[in-house]
Amino acid sequence: MGRTKEELKEGAEWNADGSLQKVKFEWMGKGNRIHKTWDNTILGHLEISGQTLVVEVNSANRAKKIREQIEKRLGIHATHLSTTSRTPEESLAKREKQVKAAPPQFGGAKPLNPELEKQVAARLQEEVKGWIHTKIPALSGRTPLEAVADPDGKEMVEALILGWERVLEGPGFPGQIRPDIDELRRLLNLPVAIGTTIH
């Protein structure tokens, strides 16, 4: 389920006259094809700033779908200005920049109950392992397991994993719950990071 109207208002920025200045929210879809226990999936991110609406998605198919939805709802009140795309490397660089710029979110948080932390970590690890069987737009619709079969695909998978590791090392990520990326590397027959101990 998405955020309520009240939650969206709380996270929005307002002008002095009470008019909306900026608000960010997610484009949600019901269920999840990969993770059957999930109630919904985030399909994209939208930001309204003044008279401008910017949508960010991770595939051309989703871009087409959300544009159709916007045009259906707003009709002549909206004009499509442009569509841009980024390479996987550019996307990773942007994510790293956002993480570095964001204030730490977990510094003052209370640690989780050890048993709950263990359960959350186990579920996170299962989802990380499931990623190797997920079709990734950046890999031309192939799964990481399929992509590593050729040199170019292998290089792309390694770049994605490296970007993932950089994000996990950045500020704002809860240190006590981190997925074991080395297990992911082993499942894909990729080199394990230097200095890592295999149990």
pLDDT at 194: 47
pLDDT in tens, the chain (199 residues): 567 778 788 788 888 888 888 988 888 777 666 656 666 777 788 888 888 888 888 778 888 898 898 888 888 888 888 888 776 666 667 666 665 555 444 444 455 567 777 777 788 788 888 888 888 888 888 899 999 999 888 888 888 888 877 777 665 455 556 788 888 888 898 887 544 333 3
Kindly tell me the burial class for residue 148, based on how many C-beta atoms sit within 10 Å of its own C-beta (0-12, 13-18, 19 or more). buried
User: Given 3-state DSSP classes, what are the helix, strand and coil percentages for the chain, each rounded to the nearest 5?
Assistant: 45, 15, 40
| Maximum distance among all Cα pairs of the chain, rounded to whole angstroms | 61
Closest CA to 61 of 75, 43, 36, 45: 43
pLDDT at 148: 92
CB 164 within 8 A of CB 190: no
User: Domain limits of the chain?
Assistant: 5-85, 93-187
Q: Tell the residue number behind the tokens 């707003």, with chain if given.
A: 74
pLDDT at 42: 77
* 55 strand-pairing partners: 46
Q: The dihedral of CA 62, 136, 98, 3: what is its sign?
A: positive
pLDDT at 50: 85
